[in-house]
Structures are given as structure tokens and as C-alpha cells.
Amino acid sequence: MTFTRYAIYYAPPADAAWTQFATSWLGWDMETGAPVAHPTVDGIDVASATKVPRKYGLHATMKPPFRLRDGQTVQALFDACATLATRHAPVSLDGLEVARLGRFLALRPVGETHALNALAAACVQELDAFRAPASEAELTRRRAANLTPEQDVNLVQWGYPYVLEAFRFHITLSGKLAKPVLAEVEAALDTHLAPKLPTPFRIEDLALMGEAEDGRFHLIHRYALSG
């Protein structure tokens, strides 16, 4: 399969109960590259609530999607991901919780996040030689979000505003929701997903992802953290 962009994600383990529910919730399994049926949740239009994040699959972004720089090869990217994973240890946190990010819902980590943030920063910095520079159109589109000076520096240097000190680990579970719907969907996730969430929560590998021409993301390979 030909990919238009690549990304480094945290991809939850496919065999975990919480992963299986949350993957169904979103409706796209990036590991198998196939749609999956949404769960039936009374009073909730799951397909509508998850339409925006569906194509990305169940993930947390570690290095945001990027086009491959001219002169770089996919094989060299594979090799660099493998090398990066050997230099960094797994990360353990107290757990995950359903949380609001503005009018979105996501899973956020519970506990100290220093090691997690350092791992994400390494993904951004150590693999940046593979990223094609952002186009002027991309810069303009991102700046429409009223970025802070720090975020604008990140955008220019790393191609994305919300990295390094501006990074906040999250596993997106919805698009932007109206306030009454937000509360209803949050309650449904607290009931159906929260009891399945892991304690502790461990990140044991990084996933190289590819974006297909239809915009859907597919898992290419997992790299075990072994540093």
C-alpha cells in the first residue's frame, strides 16, 4: 500500500479489552485496516460523535503526520524508528481516565508524565530529518487557530504547534461536541469504557503509521521500547 504521510503513534495493544471497545467506538481498526461496527449505546449516536477522529484510529500522537522529505526513503525511516526504540525504555503511568479537552473527549494519563513527555519529544526531534517542511498553506491553516508564540515556533521548527512543552498526551475519543451531547457521551464512556482502563498504564512500543490516499491511517509496524 502506498502512503501519503507517516506518523509515530502510541497504538494500544490490540488484545486488551479497553482497546477492543474503544476501537469499536471509533469504528476504524488501524491494525487490521478495516472498519468495525460501533457498539450500541442507548441514547448516543456513536457514529456521529466519532466521525472526525475515526480515520486516525485509536491512538495518541507522538510525532504528528508528515510527508517524507525528498531524498529520504521509507526503509531509512523504518531503520531510524527501530534505532529510536532501542534507546528508550517503556513508560509506566498510574492509569488512564476519560477527560474533556475543550469540547472533545479523550483518554488522558493519570500520574507523573515526565518520562512520557520525554519520549514524545524524542520522537519529534530524532525523526525530524524525515519530515518534509510544512508548506505555506499548512502554516497559514495552522496559524488560523490563534497560536501562542511558543506554538508558532514549534510550527516553524517541527511542523506542528503542539509538541515539546506544548505536548499533551491524549487518545481522542470524539469530535467537537455540543455541550449537552458532550455530557451524555462522557457519561456513556464513564460507564462502558472507564471500568476497562488499565492500572497501571504502560507504553511498551511505538507504532509507525501510514496514511492511505483515502485519509485512513494504517499500522505499519510496532517497535518495542527496549532502552
Summarize pLDDT for 161-195 with one digit per residue, the tens.
Answer: 999 999 999 999 999 999 999 999 999 999 999 99
* Number of folded domains that form the chain: 1
Could you give the C-alpha distances from 14 to 19, 30, 78, in angstroms and in order? 6, 10, 21
This prediction's pTM: 0.95
DSSP assignment string, the chain: ---SEEEEEE---TTSHHHHHHHHHHTEETTTTEE-PPPP-TT--HHHHTTTTGGG-S-EEEEEEEPBPTT--HHHHHHHHHHHHHTS--EEESEEEEEEETTEEEEEEES--HHHHHHHHHHHHHTGGGBPPPPHHHHHHHHTT---HHHHHHHHHHS-SS-GGG----EE------HHHHHHHHHHHHHHTGGGS-SSEEE-EEEEEEE-TTS-EEEEEEEE---
Residue of 101, 55, 71, 94 whose CA lies nearest to 213: 55
**pLDDT, mean of residues 196-204:** 97
Task: Give 15's Cβ-side CA count (13 Å radius).
Answer: 0
Q: Which domain holds residue 217?
A: 5-224
Is residue 1 over pLDDT 90?
Answer: no
Beta bridge partners of 206: 223
Summarize pLDDT for 11-64 with one digit per residue, the tens.
Answer: 999 999 999 999 999 999 999 999 999 999 999 999 999 999 999 999 999 999
**Confidence label for 96 from pLDDT (cuts 50, 70 and 90):** very high
Report residue 211 as a C-alpha cell.
496514511
**Confidence label for 199 from pLDDT (cuts 50, 70 and 90):** very high
Is residue 86 over pLDDT 90?
Answer: yes
CATH number, domain with residue 175: 3.90.1140.10
Beta bridge partners of 205: 224
Distance CA 203, CA 134 (A): 29
Instruction: Give residue 55's identity as a one-letter amino acid code.
Output: K
Q: How far, rounded to the nearest angstrom, does the alpha carbon of residue 206 sit from its chain's CA centroid?
A: 11
Query: What is the chain's Cα-based Rg?
Result: 17
Predicted confidence at residue 227, as pLDDT, reads: 86
